[in-house]
Amino acid sequence: MPVSPRLTVKSQLSEEQLLAHIDLAALPQHIAIIMDGNGRWARRRHLPRIAGHRAGIRAVRQAIEACARLGVPYLTLYAFSVENWKRPHAEVELLMGLLREYLKKEIAELNRQRIRLGVIGRIGELPLPVQRDLQTALEKTRRNTGLRLTLALNYGSRAELLDAVRSLLEERAGNGSLPLDEETFRQHLYTRDLPDPDLVVRTSGEMRLSNFLLWQAAYAELWITNTLWPDFTQCDLFQAILDYQKRERRYGGLGMARS
C-alpha cells in the first residue's frame, strides 16, 4: 500500500554537520527538483512576484553547487511548465527575460565547474531569442564532463508522453517489427539520455508532482519541505540526501528486511 510523502522540516544541523553524515558511496545518481514558492516568498515580503523569481536564481545556484560539490551526476530542475503560459503575459515575459539573463551570465561558471547543460520540453514553442540563447549555452557546455544539469522548459509530462507516442507510431509505421516494450518507449522520451531520478525534491510544502516526470519518477523517493524555493540552501539538499539514504528502495519487492 503506497505511503503518503512525508513533509520534512528544516534541519538545525550546520552545513558541515550534514555533509559529514552523507555517505558519498550511496548518493542518488539523479536528483530532480520541483522549484515552488517564488510567488509566496515575494508576497510575504510585499514584493512583486518577479522579485521572488529573481531570488529563486540564488537557490538554483545553491542546488547546482551542492550537487557538483558532492559528485551527484545528474540534476534536473523544473523551470517552466506547459501550464505556466496561463500566467499573466507580463510575468511570462519577465520569466523568459530572467532565463536569458541566467543563460548569459552563468556560462562561465558552468564551464569552470565542468557542468554540462541540457534541456527537455517543447523547446520549439519558446520565443526565438530564448531558443537561440539556449542553443548557445548548450553548445558552449557540451564538452563538459561533470554534473549534467537539465532544465525542464515548456515541459509537461503528459505532453512528453503524447510526443513519445507520436514518435513511436511514426517510427513503427516505417518499421513494423519495432517492439512495443518499456525500453523502446523510453527511447522516445525527452529524457532518453538520462537515468530515471532516484530522488524528487519539492519545495513549498505542496504534495503533488505537478505533471513532472510522471513516467520517470515511478520509483523515485519523494522529499517535500515547507521551505519556499528562494530560501532553499545547500543544507536543505544535504538533508534531502540524508533522508534518502535512510530509506529502503524495494521497487515493488519485499526488501532486505522482509526477504
pLDDT at 254: 57
**105-128: pLDDT as tens digits:** 999 999 999 999 999 999 999 999
- Joined grid coordinates for residue 179: 517492439
Quote the mean pLDDT of the chain.
92
Q: Are strands 116-120 and 74-81 parallel, antiparallel or unpaired?
A: unpaired
Q: Of 15-19, 98-102, 170-174, which range is least confident?
A: 170-174
196 is catalytic: no
Q: Of 9-13, 123-127, 200-204, 254-258, which range is least confident?
A: 254-258
Quote the CA–CA distance of 75 and 32 in Å, as a whole number: 6
The answer to whether the CB of 190 falls within 8 A of the CB of 32 is no
Looking at the predicted structure, is the pLDDT value of residue 11 above 90? no
pLDDT at 256: 55
Kindly report the three-state secondary structure assignment for every residue of the chain.
Answer: CCCCCCEECCCCCCHHHHHHHCCHHHCCCEEEEECCCHHHHHHHCCCCHHHHHHHHHHHHHHHHHHHHHHCCCEEEEEEEEHHHHHCCHHHHHHHHHHHHHHHHHHHHHHHHCCCEEEEECCHHHCCHHHHHHHHHHHHHHCCCCCCEEEEEEEECHHHHHHHHHHHHHHHHHHCCCCCCCHHHHHCCCCCCCCCCCCEEEECCCCCCCCCCCCCCCCCCEEEEECCCHHHCCHHHHHHHHHHHHCCCCCCCCCCCCCC
- Compute the average pLDDT of residues 222-243: 97
Give the active site residue among 84, 144, 211, 226.
84
Give the active site residue among 36, 133, 198, 231.
36
- Only one residue has cell 515511478, namely 218
At 3, is the pLDDT very low, low, confident or very high (cuts 50, 70, 90)?
A: very low
Quote the CA–CA distance of 151 and 139 in Å, as a whole number: 15
pLDDT at 219: 95
The answer to whether the CB of 34 falls within 8 A of the CB of 213 is no
State whether CATH 3.40.50.970 applies to domain 28-156+196-244. no
Q: For residues 10 and 51, which has the higher predicted lDDT (pLDDT)?
A: 51
Domain ranges of the chain: 28-156+196-244
Q: For residues 110 and 8, which has the higher predicted lDDT (pLDDT)?
A: 110
What one-letter code names the amino acid at 225? T
pLDDT at 252: 65
**136-189: pLDDT as tens digits:** 999 999 999 999 999 999 999 999 999 999 999 988 887 767 788 999 999 999
At 14, is the pLDDT very low, low, confident or very high (cuts 50, 70, 90)?
A: confident
pLDDT at 253: 64
The answer to whether the CB of 191 falls within 8 A of the CB of 218 is no
181 is catalytic: no
The answer to whether the CB of 220 falls within 8 A of the CB of 200 is yes
The pTM (predicted TM-score) of the whole model is 0.91
